[in-house]
Amino acid sequence: MIFSSLIKTKEKLTTLPETATLEEALAVLEDTGFRCVPVLDQTGRIFRGNIYKMHLYRHKSRNGDMSLPVTALLKNATKFVSINAAFFSVFFAMRDLPYIAVLNNDNQFYGILTHNSMLRMLAAGWNVNNGSYVLTVTTPDERGSLMTASKEITRYCQIVNVLSFDPEHSALKQVLFTLPADVDHDKMVKIVRRLKKKGFEVPEIEDLKHQY
């Protein structure tokens, strides 16, 4: 389920009715500075799609009829998610969009979930504001390797976050360990030395205190 705090609700949005003309849509987009806005049906409840400034400019530059209804250039009509959708389905559904429309339990337009709000949530989950270093550790893709690496780190400190990647389904995994804010440089060096002694590679170390 999507956290309601991440959703920008309909009442706070600039939207267009499906009866608006292309000229009216362009004026709204130029006034607001948005690259696109949602288009709703005449009742304001049903999501019809998005209208993009770039498509309006292209249409106008080709001497297209700007008195046509905005539905003539609608995009993303099927790009929406339910407010009860699982996180990963939402994440992948919106990857190529500035935002994705969110529908309520009655399949009516509820609001939008933007890329920025999703990234803020991921940053919060990654604890970049409360961490000291992020260690990228290469581990074999075998049972117990993640537990072993974690055990070596917790000899020195807690782990505030773990994120695992499987690049191109290789035999090795990339695991990102976020260390707590009280870990200084000397302790981080000891942790890295211990991991390497146990056969793990640490190809990258990010210093969060100096980057965020």
- pLDDT score for 131: 85
pLDDT surpassing 60 at residue 212: no
Q: Assess contact for 103 and 82: CB atoms under 8 A.
A: yes
Residue predicted with more confidence, 172 or 32 = 32
Q: What is the pLDDT of residues 47-66, one digit of tens each?
A: 999 999 999 999 999 999 99
pTM of the model: 0.70
Please list the residue range(s) of the chain that carry CATH number 3.10.580.10: 4-120
CATH topology of domain 128-207: Alpha-Beta Plaits (3.30.70)
Please list the residue range(s) of the chain that carry CATH number 3.30.70.260: 128-207
Query: Do the strands 201-207 and 131-140 form a parallel or antiparallel pair, or are they unpaired?
Result: antiparallel
Q: What is the pLDDT of residues 111-150, one digit of tens each?
A: 999 988 887 777 776 666 678 999 999 988 788 899 999 9
Mean pLDDT computed over 35-49: 97
Mean pLDDT computed over 88-103: 87
Q: Which CATH architecture has domain 4-120?
A: Roll (3.10)
Round the CA-based radius of gyration of the chain to a whole number and report it: 23
Residue predicted with more confidence, 24 or 128 = 24
Q: Using pLDDT thresholds of 50, 70 and 90, give the confidence band for residue 2.
A: low
